[in-house]
Structures are given as C-alpha cells and as structure tokens.
C-alpha cells in the first residue's frame, strides 16, 4: 500500500492505476529507473496529469522486497516535481518532462518526511538520511547508527532521531542539522 504525502504545493494530479489501459488512450508510458519508453520492471503504476502539458503513465520499479521498505507518493519542494518511492526505490521526476529524473541516493528508503518550513524532503534508510530541496539533492548524512534509523521530531534547525548502535547494544539519539546534514550524538 502506498502512502500519499502531499505537503508541498504541486502543479499536477497523480492517480494510482491498477493496470495499464489496453489502448493507453494516447498516453506515453515511461518506466523508471531509466526513463525508458521501451519497457522495464514491474512497479507502482501512476497516471500523472501536469497542469501544463500532456498526461503520461509511469511505472516505478519495486526496489527492495521487505515490509520495511517504504512506498510513498510525495509532492516535492519544487511544484513541478514528484517523488515516488516504490518498495524502497526512490525517483524524483519532472512532471512536465518525465525524461528529466533522478534516482534518490538513499536506498532502501524506509521513511519519507516533509519539512515544509525548510522546503526539504527527507529520505531515511537503515543508517542515514538524505535531503532534497527546491533544486534537487542537498545532502546525505554519514552513518548515524548501525540500523533502524527513525526520525522522532523535526525542530526548527534540526531533526531529532534515533537508531540502533550494535557496538553499544542499545539505541542512541542524534541531531541532524537541516542546513548541512552534519550531526552529533546526543545520547549513547
């Protein structure tokens, strides 16, 4: 099941589609990753209707076969971009030109958070966090913990999170600076 996260203004409508229409009704069909028109792997199937431009179908490949991998459809800080996380594999695509896309550096994505006041989307995997803003990729933290990273709270300047530290055999808390991705351990 996919989670919808539309915290930012968007200039498109997205619809989850159960199957490819028989005639495609003149829609171009693009497969991600790769932005191929020739075919690709199974994944989330979306109909994207930009406010300016023609609608298109996108198949966003499943990434990681685990219940921990997120499936999220999210608006981005830039109103003409869409983030699709399909079983942990993240793609950010320009809805007016689906051939302009990038793969999210974090994998497998286990959580997505919008920080509206800072115009950032945060992507979490098992050990780190990446941020994307109005102009795309901003930063990725170094390893925050050994496993099980969770964002507990978003503050004005920082993210408070926690994760498992195998060496200490316990959970540790950390603060991540939203401007730089630098971090410090606050417990553990």
* Chain centroid, CA 71 distance in Å: 9
Q: Do residues 70 and 123 both lie within one domain?
A: yes
pLDDT for res 23: 65
Note the pTM of the prediction, 2 decimals: 0.93
Q: Do residues 105 and 87 both lie within one domain?
A: yes
Q: Do residues 59 and 108 both lie within one domain?
A: yes
Integer Cα distance of 59 and 27 in angstroms:
13
Q: Which domain holds residue 80?
A: 3-140
Successive 10-residue mean pLDDT values, the chain, 188 residues: 89 90 77 90 94 94 93 97 97 96 96 96 97 95 95 95 94 97 86
Residue 101 backbone dihedrals phi, psi, to 5 degrees: -145, 165
DSSP SS3 for 25: helix
Radius of gyration of the chain (CA): 17
Q: Do residues 64 and 108 both lie within one domain?
A: yes
pLDDT for res 136: 93
């Amino acid at each position: 099941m996919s989670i919808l996260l539309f915290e930012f203004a968007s200039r498109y409508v997205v619809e989850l589609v159960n199957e490819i229409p028989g005639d495609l009704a003149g829609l171009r069909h693009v497969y991600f990753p790769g932005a191929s028109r020739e075919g690709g792997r199974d994944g989330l199937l979306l109909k994207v209707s930009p406010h300016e431009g023609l609608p298109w179908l996108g198949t966003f490949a499943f990434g990681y076969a685990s219940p921990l991998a997120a499936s999220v459809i999210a608006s981005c800080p830039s109103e003409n971009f869409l983030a699709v996380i399909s079983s942990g594999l993240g793609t950010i695509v320009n809805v007016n030109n689906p051939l302009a896309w990038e793969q999210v550096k974090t994998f497998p994505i286990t959580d997505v958070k919008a920080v509206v006041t800072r115009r950032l989307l945060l992507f979490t995997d098992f050990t780190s966090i990446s941020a994307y803003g109005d102009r795309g990729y901003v930063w990725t933290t170094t390893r925050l913990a050994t496993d099980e990273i969770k964002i507990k709270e978003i503050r004005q300047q920082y993210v408070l999170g926690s994760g498992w530290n195998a060496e200490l055999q316990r959970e540790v808390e950390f603060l991540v600076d939203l401007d730089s991705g630098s971090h410090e351990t606050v417990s553990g």
